[in-house]
Chain A
Amino acid sequence: MKDKNIFDILENAENDSMKRLIDKCPEISDEQLEKIFKMSEKKFRKQRAEKERTERDNTIKMTENDVVEGVERSKRPAWLTPLTTAASVLLIAGIAIGSTAMLKRHTKPNGGGGGVTPAVTVSTTTGTSTNIVSTDKNGSTVTGSAAATTTTTTVTSAGDGSDQNTADTEFIKPFVGRWRYEMSNINDLDVPESAGYMGTVEITADATYIMTDNSGNVSHGTISNATEEIGGTSIQCLDFSVNESGANDFLTRRAYYDESRPYELHFGNSNIARLVREEHVEPTDTSWQSAYRKELLKHYNKAGIPYNDPMWDLQDIDGDDIPELLISTGTQKDDCVYIYYYENGEAKDLNNTVQTIPYGEYGVTNICKEEHYIGHNYTDNRVTYYEMTKLKDHYPICDIFTYYYDLEQAGETPYGLNARPVSEEEFNQKVDEYNSKNWITVGRQYRLGDFSPLLDN
């Protein structure tokens, strides 16, 4: 019997056997999981869109426990089909002729009008720490005091296409054009690599905007002028309306303009979201700090699962004055340390060049800075395991020396060095060499999300 045939019997297993097979299922790679996630998400979106369309078409709302039963029977006269077909043909012909006629009319020079001038709102906001002076809707002045208050006077005029409204949209001229809407996925745009593209916004001269988000959805809204006084300085602001669905397209409604950054409008007081002129290109940062920030962001975005308690560290293991980046996945026994080095503007995974991955356990690993070693060892009832990796010119040279109790019981040589059977004496020599190093335990110095040690370049 061939070996594989014995195992075919395991197919189609019942629950008990299935549990045992699940336990021994190999880990699925991150790439494969990502592929499955993308496929699932695509199918899910399609199914949800179909469900929503069905609900909308039939004006019904399904809930989890709704049951649809029975058959609806209907009778139609035989003459109905040809009649509706003929009516459809006439309708389509009418639409085509009508559209052509209307298009011809609108191709005249100057268009013949028809443009809708948007409503324009001008807001002025004044902030003070002691006194408030505000104007009510009747023009009366109201004065009061408070710790920190902001008052806003708003004048709204309906658009009627007059010259007055043309003047009211003067404020928008410096901002007309295409902008990228960016949000930081760590809520901090000081880490420039964290800016994620959310969509494109086109601001037009009539103080309206068109937002095309990164899924291709398009929405519209109006923009009104506003100023805000902060610390005695008047700040130019733009207030974005809600879109046609009544939702905000941006993090906050108000965007601030800072003359020191003419290519940018930032939303709210926090440094989370902004509009950036489409033609603006951030200068390329090839420093090791930038490379490590990018690498940390990759881990930050997938933290939580599978990482329980991720942290990171910077240690110059190979002595080249550029520290290596260490990322610890947590504090459990199976938690490991990923090590990256900097080369040609990128953070490169040290694990890619060696067979034994990853480093350490309980989320930490040992290093010997003086001799540029990474080390790790453990002992249990059946195995004694040592791993000692010399890091030279970004290349790890790894020695693994082991003792297997099971092999000893089977009458075989239990000691091994890099999978080669060795004598007990040779094994002990390697253990002594390992123990002679000045090991320090590293890997968990900074919280994932704290980028401050990498922001001083």
Chain B
Amino acid sequence: MTSRELTALMEKSPVSCHKALVKEYGRYVYAIAYNKLRGCGTNEDIEECVSDVFAALFMQCEYDLSSENDLKYLIGTIAKRKAIDYFRSLTARESHISESDEDDMRELVSDFSVDERVDRSELRRVLLDKIDELGEPDSTILIQKFYYNRNSKEIAESVSMTASAVRQRCARAMDKLRTKLVEVGMGR
């Protein structure tokens, strides 16, 4: 959806426009919120965060957004900020965080030093590369199973397979991934 389409839809019917935004960007915002809150929040926390993002976006829609060049970027930015806010409030009991610059988000949400952060970023890239090397549908099955915590039945629907076939492929793909990670010095 472009900002012009959004403005036109907004003029026609604000509620339809809001619905359309949730439909089009719901998965995108969910994925961002999930990435930040996966380790500290429940599904309800993530849904609350996503709804906060859209409420903030609807408020933005009250103004003229036709000059916004990249709507997805705007939504992504709001989503990241809200997710950090939620992360802070959810982890407030464990540690006190006073810095608020969103660019330092990665430092805020982890206790790693810069070196550790770079290492972790590299590990993430290698892991995703190795998962991608497994090809489809195995890579999708593994990410949805172990990162998004979906069960085999849910995954089966998204990859057009049966649940038993998903389980079978998942086990095999995990074995292959382990081997690949050992080859590059990750895992054991």
Contacts and interface: CB of A to CB of B under 8 A. Distances in A.
Interface in A1-50: 1, 3-4, 6-14, 16-18, 20-22, 24-28, 32-33, 35-37, 39-41, 43-44, 47-48
Interface in A218-277: none
Contacts, number: 154
Interface residues on A, range: 35 or more
B59 A24 contact: no
A94 interface: no
Given A43-B51, A48-B59, A419-B164, A406 B135 contact: yes
Interface in B68-124: 106, 109-110, 120-121, 123-124
Interface residues of B, number: 70
Nearest to B65: A64
B187 A6 contact: yes
Interface in A148-172: none
B22 A11 contact: no
B3 interface: no
A306 interface: yes
A43 B124 contact: no
A419 B38 CA distance: 33
Contacts of A12: 35-36, 106, 109-110
Interface in B43-78: 47-48, 50-55, 58-59, 62-64
Nearest to A46: B55
Contacts of B39: 8, 11
B47 A35 contact: yes
Contacts of A51: 59
B187 A1 contact: yes
A13 B35 contact: yes
16 contacts: A8-B39, A18-B31, A22-B32, A24-B147, A25-B30, A25-B34, A26-B150, A26-B155, A33-B22, A33-B26, A40-B50, A41-B58, A43-B51, A44-B58, A48-B59, A357-B157
Interface of B: 1, 15-16, 18-20, 22-24, 26-28, 30-32, 34-36, 38-39, 47-48, 50-55, 58-59, 62-64, 106, 109-110, 120-121, 123-125, 127-128, 132, 135, 139-140, 143-144, 146-148, 150, 154-158, 160-165, 174, 177, 181, 186-188
